[in-house]
Every structure is written in structure tokens, then in C-alpha cells.
């Protein structure tokens, strides 16, 4: 009895082993010939292409309207070419003028001119040899912030800069995010020590081009939900996420209080008031503060991905928007901006794609009356407010 049961057990075991062997040697089931499937085995595991190596070519067939020269001459109110800080690589001034002539850019505003001797160097190289082609702005010397006479010194420095030829004041984003006094406290945008400076700009009739905060994504965690992940990985110091920084909203609220406090000073709130992702906010700002204007330097990407809303905004606020690039000097760069403003082309790269995010932009095809104001008329009106020299001169 025992032998008979043992024999049956061995036969079953051998049979099972044979089935397992046959299954292990069989090929995976194949798709019937001529039939297209829906998913390949291991598809998820095969998605190994690095994001930095992903450069898809659009298959969209649509009209392309290249614009070599702006329809109306341009004043670029936001540039740093050959500035005092060396933000961009130095260019031969003759080459800069060639680019301007080729694209119908009449005047470029060099915002970061610093002060005194450094300012004078920019004026000597760029402004005086090319009358009408360049303007330069001065800046505040934050190293003096703890001096008891800081306010008076900065007013005097501003007067000196205007006497040398500066035609505006530029404020960088370190105000509100980086400038600290000796106690380690961040200097608020509406700190009263700055009030005399803003007032002096109003008295002189020169605009204040002010940049505070940065794109909204820079104030969020740098993870797989951040639309500007690649940019922030490349520039980790551009991230202002964390308890060591005030929120974007708090900084902008301080800036807007300062705007309101100085109604006789003209402010150019750079980068579309630094919230182009929220045009409802920018609209409210312009509706409530008539001394504030905006420009769109380095924000073509943000505005270009919302063409209907942006076009509506440009038409409504056509007297308050100025042309700016903040992208160095390059014919292709200007032409990319002209295509965005002048044509109805769809789904094309913003200048610098994909640095600010992996999306495309759409042309706004702005009316001529709006284009002319944005390209130069609004800037000319603001710069025409200049009232001359400093006190006693």
C-alpha cells in the first residue's frame, strides 16, 4: 500500500515539474499579426529619458509669421547691457547698436548703473557716444543702511547721479529678500528710511524701476509639483521657500503700501508687477494706484501662455504697459518678442525655452494703437516728466 501511494506521489511531482518547465520556456503571448495594441509590457520601466535631454519637436502645422523689425520703433526699458555690475557679458557698443538698428529698437535703458565713478563709466561708454540710443539708471548703496544719515546720503547720491546723466532709479529684488541691517533684520520695502529717496525721485521727475519678489514658483518647495523645477535646480539661490524668507504676499503688500504713500512719484513695477501669473492682482494694482506702471521684462513666458487674458489686459491697460526684455542683446530675442506681440501665431517657443518652464506661448496680435504705446509712447511720456537738476543747481 505504501509503495503504491509513493509511486502515485512521484508521478504527480514529475508531472507538475514538467508543466512548470514548459511554462518557463514559453514566450510571452504576442499580439495577433496586424492588430495594434494599447500598452507594451514594461512600458513604465522603459521611461528612462532624462528631462534635460527631452527636446520634442512640435508636429503642429500652423502659420509662422517672423517679424524682423518692430512695426513701430521700440524703447526697451529693461536691459543690463554693459552695465556697472557686469550682469551680462560685455559687448562692443557698436555691435549693440547694430542689433538695435536691425530690429528697430531706438533706445535701450541700462538699469543697473550703480553710482558715482561706476555710473560715470557707463555714461562715458554708452550714453555720450550714442545720443538718444541709451539711458542709464542709478541705484541705492545698501552698504550704508546702518549709517544714521543713510537717508540723506542716498538723496545726495541720487542728486549726484542725476547731475551726471542718470534718468531713473533701479531697485533690485534684494530689497525685501536680502538687504539686512546690523541686527540681521530684513529691510522692508516700506521702511521709512527710504521715504526721502522715493520723494526725491518724484521731485526730480525720474521714475523708480522696482523689482521685488520673484515668480510665484520660487516661493514654493522645489519638488515634482514645481513648474519651474529645472530652473530652481540650476539656480538654487533663486528659491525663497522656507521660514527664513517672508512670503511673496507680505513683500508685495509692503511694496504696495509704499506706492500708495508716494503718489507724486512714478513707479515702474518691473516684470509685470512681479505677478504675471495673477493678472487679476496686477489689474487691481493699476486700478487703485495711478502712479504705477508695468513692463514685462523676462515675463514673456508667463504672459504668452495665457494669450486671451493677456490680450484683454494689454488692451485695457494700454497706457500703463512698457516694452522690456531683461534678456541681453540679440536680434533673435527681439524678433521673438515682436512675434508674440504682433502676430496671432500659436504654440511657439518663448525666448529662452525651456528655462522658465515647459510650456509654449501664443501671439496676441495687438492692435496698432496698443503696439505703438507699448513699444515707445508710454515710455516717452514717463521720461518726459524729467524736471532737471538737483536742489540748488
H/E run at residue 8: helix 2-25
Q: Are strands 208-210 and 74-79 parallel, antiparallel or unpaired?
A: unpaired
Residue 3 falls inside a structural domain:
no
Length of the chain counted residue by residue:
393
Kindly report the CATH number assigned to the domain that includes residue 153: 3.20.20.140
Residue 28's pLDDT is 53
Q: Say how far apart CA 175 and CA 246 lie, in whole Å.
A: 12
Q: What is the pLDDT along the chain (393 residues), one digit of tens a residue?
A: 444 555 544 444 445 444 444 444 445 555 566 677 777 888 888 889 998 899 999 999 999 999 999 999 999 999 999 999 999 899 999 999 999 999 999 999 999 999 999 999 999 999 999 999 999 999 999 999 999 999 999 999 999 999 999 999 999 999 999 999 999 999 999 999 999 999 999 999 999 999 999 999 999 999 999 999 999 999 999 999 999 999 999 999 999 999 999 999 999 999 999 999 999 999 999 999 999 999 999 999 999 999 999 999 999 999 999 999 999 999 999 999 999 999 999 999 999 999 999 999 999 999 999 999 999 999 999 999 999 764 544
Residue 33 falls inside a structural domain:
no
Residue 56 falls inside a structural domain:
no
Nearest CA among 86, 67, 91 for reference residue 329: 91
Q: How many CB atoms lie within 10 A of CB 79?
A: 26
Residue 19's pLDDT is 45
Domain count, the chain: 1
Alpha-carbon torsion 280, 274, 133, 136, what sign? Answer: positive
Residue 57 falls inside a structural domain:
no
Residue 50 falls inside a structural domain:
no
Residue 29's pLDDT is 53
H/E run at residue 75: strand 74-79
Q: Say how far apart CA 219 and CA 229 lie, in whole Å.
A: 12
Residue 291 falls inside a structural domain:
yes
Range(s) of the domain holding residue 124: 62-383
Nine-digit cell at 231? 530652473
Q: Say how far apart CA 124 and CA 360 lie, in whole Å.
A: 40
Q: Say how far apart CA 159 and CA 166 lie, in whole Å.
A: 9
Contact in structure between 137 and 109 (CB atoms under 8 Å)? yes
Q: Say how far apart CA 373 and CA 124 lie, in whole Å.
A: 30
Q: Say how far apart CA 7 and CA 296 lie, in whole Å.
A: 88
Residue 24's pLDDT is 47
Residue 149 falls inside a structural domain:
yes
Contact in structure between 285 and 273 (CB atoms under 8 Å)? yes
Please name the residues in contact with 286: beta carbons below 8 A apart, sequence gap of 6 or more. 292, 294, 317, 320
Residue 296's pLDDT is 98
Counts of helices then strands in the chain (DSSP H, E) = 14, 8
Residue 14 falls inside a structural domain:
no
Amino acid at each position: 500500500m505504501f509503495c503504491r501511494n509513493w509511486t502515485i506521489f512521484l508521478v504527480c511531482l514529475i508531472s507538475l515539474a514538467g508543466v512548470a518547465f514548459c511554462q518557463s520556456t514559453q514566450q510571452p503571448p504576442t499580439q495577433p499579426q496586424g492588430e495594434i495594441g494599447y500598452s507594451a509590457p514594461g512600458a513604465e520601466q522603459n521611461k528612462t529619458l532624462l528631462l534635460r535631454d527631452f527636446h520634442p519637436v512640435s508636429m503642429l502645422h500652423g502659420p509662422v509669421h517672423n517679424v524682423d523689425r518692430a512695426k513701430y520703433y521700440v524703447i526697451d526699458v529693461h536691459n543690463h547691457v554693459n552695465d556697472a555690475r557686469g550682469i551680462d557679458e560685455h559687448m562692443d557698443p557698436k555691435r549693440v547698436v547694430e542689433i538695435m538698428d536691425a530690429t528697430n529698437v531706438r533706445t535701450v535703458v541700462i538699469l543697473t548703473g550703480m553710482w558715482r565713478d561706476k555710473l560715470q563709466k557707463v555714461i562715458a561708454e554708452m550714453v555720450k557716444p550714442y545720443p538718444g540710443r541709451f539711458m542709464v539708471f542709478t541705484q541705492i548703496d545698501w552698504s550704508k543702511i546702518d549709517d544714521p544719515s543713510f537717508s540723506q546720503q542716498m538723496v545726495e547720491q541720487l542728486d549726484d547721479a542725476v547731475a551726471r546723466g542718470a534718468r531713473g532709479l533701479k531697485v533690485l529684488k534684494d530689497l525685501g529678500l536680502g538687504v539686512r541691517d546690523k541686527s540681521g533684520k530684513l529691510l522692508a520695502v516700506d521702511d521709512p528710511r527710504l521715504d526721502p529717496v522715493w520723494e526725491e525721485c518724484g521731485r526730480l521727475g525720474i521714475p523708480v524701476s522696482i523689482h521685488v519678489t520673484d515668480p510665484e514658483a520660487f516661493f514654493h518647495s522645489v519638488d515634482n509639483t514645481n513648474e519651474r523645477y529645472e530652473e530652481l535646480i540650476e539656480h538654487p539661490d533663486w528659491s525663497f521657500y522656507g521660514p527664513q524668507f517672508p512670503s511673496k504676499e507680505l513683500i508685495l503688500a509692503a511694496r504696495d503700501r509704499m506706492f500708495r504713500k508716494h503718489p507724486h512719484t512714478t513707479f515702474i513695477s518691473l516684470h509685470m508687477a512681479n505677478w504675471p501669473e495673477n493678472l487679476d492682482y496686477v489689474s487691481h494694482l493699476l486700478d487703485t494706484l495711478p502712479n504705477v506702471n508695468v513692463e514685462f521684462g523676462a515675463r514673456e513666458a508667463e504672459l504668452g501662455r495665457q494669450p486671451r487674458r493677456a490680450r484683454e489686459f494689454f488692451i485695457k491697460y494700454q497706457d500703463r504697459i512698457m516694452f522690456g526684455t531683461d534678456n541681453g542683446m540679440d536680434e533673435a530675442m527681439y524678433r521673438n518678442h515682436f512675434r508674440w506681440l504682433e502676430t496671432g501665431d500659436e504654440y511657439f517657443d518663448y525666448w529662452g525655452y525651456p528655462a522658465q518652464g515647459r510650456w509654449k506661448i501664443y501671439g496676441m496680435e495687438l492692435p496698432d494703437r496698443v503696439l505703438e504705446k507699448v513699444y515707445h509712447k508710454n515710455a516717452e511720456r514717463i521720461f518726459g516728466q524729467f524736471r532737471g537738476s538737483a536742489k540748488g543747481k
